[in-house]
Chains A and B, each alone.
Chain A
Amino acid sequence: MDEAIRITAEPVDNHRCKFVVSQPLHAAGVRRFASADEAKGSPLAEAIFAIPAGGVTEVIVSGNIVTVVKDNPAPWPAVGKAVGAAIRAAAASGAPPVATKAAPAAGAVDDDVLYERVARLFEDQVNPMVARHGGRVELIDVQDAVVMLRMGGGCQGCGMADVTLRQGIEGMLAQHIPEVRGIVDITDHTSGANPYFQASKK
Chain B
Amino acid sequence: MPRLLLLLPSTTYRTAAFVDAARRIGANLTVASEQPSTLEAANPAGLLTLDFQHPERAADQAHDFARRHPIDAVVGVDDDTAVVASVVSARLRLPGNPVEASQAARNKHRQRELLAKHNVPAPRFALHPLARDPQELARSITYPCVLKPLHLSASRGVIRADNPAGFVAAHARLAAILDGCDTDFLVEDFVPGYEVALEGLLVNRRLHVLALFDKPDPLDGPFFEETIYVTPSRVPAPLQKSIAQCTERAARALGLMEGPVHAELRYNERGPWLIELAARPIGGRCSAVLRFGGDGVTLEELILRHALGMPIPSLARENVAAGVMMIPIPGAGVLQEVRGVAEAKAVPLVEDVQITAHPGERLVPFPEGSRYPGFIFARGEAPSAVEGALREAHRRLEFVLA
Report if A and B associate in a common complex: yes
Question: Are A76 and B352 in touch, CB under 8 angstroms?
Answer: yes
Cα distance, A103 to B401, chains bound together (Å): 51
Q: Are B153 and A202 in contact (CB under 8 A)?
A: yes
User: For the complex, is B388 an interface residue (Cβ under 8 Å from A)?
Assistant: no
A166 to B19, CA, bound (A): 8
Name A112-128 residues within 8 Å CB distance of B: 125-126
Stretch from A89-97, A129-137, A142-150 contacting the other chain: A129-137
CB-CB under 8 A from A166, the residues of chain B are 19, 23, 29
**A133's contact among B9, B38, B153, by CB below 8 Å, is which?**
B38
In the complex, which of the residues B13, B16, B41, B355 contacts A201, with contact meaning CB atoms closer than 8 Å?
Answer: B13
Instruction: Give every chain B residue within 8 A of A6 (Cβ-Cβ).
Output: 342
Known A-B contacts A159-B10, A197-B10; A125 and B352 likewise in contact (beta carbons under 8 Å):
no
Could you say which residues of chain B place their CB within 8 Å of the CB of A168? Answer: 37-39, 42-43, 46-47
**A64 CB within 8 Å of chain B:** no
Q: Mark each residue of chain A from 146 to 180: 1 if its CB lies under 8 Å from any CB of chain B, else 0.
A: 00000000000101111110111101100000000
> Which residues from A are CB-within-8-Å of B42?
125, 129, 168, 171-172
Which of B11, B23, B295 has a CB less than 8 Å from the CB of A200? B11
Q: When the two chains form their complex, are residues A171 and B342 in contact, meaning their CB atoms are under 8 A apart?
A: no
Complex: A131 Cα to B356 Cα, angstroms:
23
Given contact pairs A160-B10, A201-B153, A167 touches B358 in the complex (Cβ within 8 A): no
Do B342 and A8 touch (CB < 8 A)? yes
Q: Would you give the shortest CB distance from B140 to chain A, in whole angstroms? A: 31
CB <8 Å contact, B354 and A190: yes
CB-CB nearest in chain A for B338: A190
Taking a contact as CB atoms closer than 8 A, the residue among B11, B20, B39 that contacts A13 in the complex is B20
Residue numbers in B under 8 Å from A172 (CB-CB): 39, 42-43
Would B31 and A163 count as touching, CB distance under 8 A?
Answer: yes
How many residues of B are counted as interface, with CB atoms below 8 angstroms from the partner's CB atoms?
53
B370 at the interface (CB under 8 A from A): yes
Known contacts being A133-B38, A192-B358, A199-B11, is A167 close to B47, with CB within 8 Å? Answer: yes
Are B9 and A201 interface neighbours, CB within 8 A?
yes
Q: Provide the bound-state CA to CA distance between A194 and B360, in Å.
A: 8
Complex: chain A residue closest to B349, CB-CB: A77
Whether A201 contacts B8 in the complex (CB less than 8 A), given A159-B15, A164-B39, comes out as no
Contact at B78–A163, with CB atoms within 8 Å?
no
CA distance A11 to B41 in the complex (A): 33
CB distance from B206 to the nearest CB of A (A): 26
Q: Which residues of A contact B284 (CB under 8 A)?
A: 202
Q: Which of A77, A126, A172 has the most CB of B within 10 A?
A: A77
B26 CB to nearest A CB, Å: 14
B38 to A159, Cβ gap below 8 A? no
The reply to whether A8 and B345 contact each other, CB–CB distance below 8 Å, is yes
Q: Is the CB of B38 within 8 A of A129?
A: yes
Interface assignment of A28: CB less than 8 Å from any CB of chain B = no
Instruction: Enumerate 12 A-B pairs (CB-CB under 8 Å) in ascending A order.
Output: A11-B352, A13-B20, A14-B296, A131-B38, A159-B10, A159-B13, A160-B37, A171-B46, A197-B10, A200-B370, A201-B78, A201-B153
| Residues of B near any A CB (own CB < 8 A) | 8-13, 15-16, 19-20, 23, 29, 31, 33, 35, 37-39, 41-43, 46-47, 78-79, 153-154, 283-284, 288, 291, 294-296, 318, 341-342, 345, 348-352, 354-356, 358-361, 370-371, 379
Q: Which 4 A-B pairs rank lowest in CB-CB distance, beginning with the nearest?
A: A168-B39, A73-B296, A202-B283, A202-B154
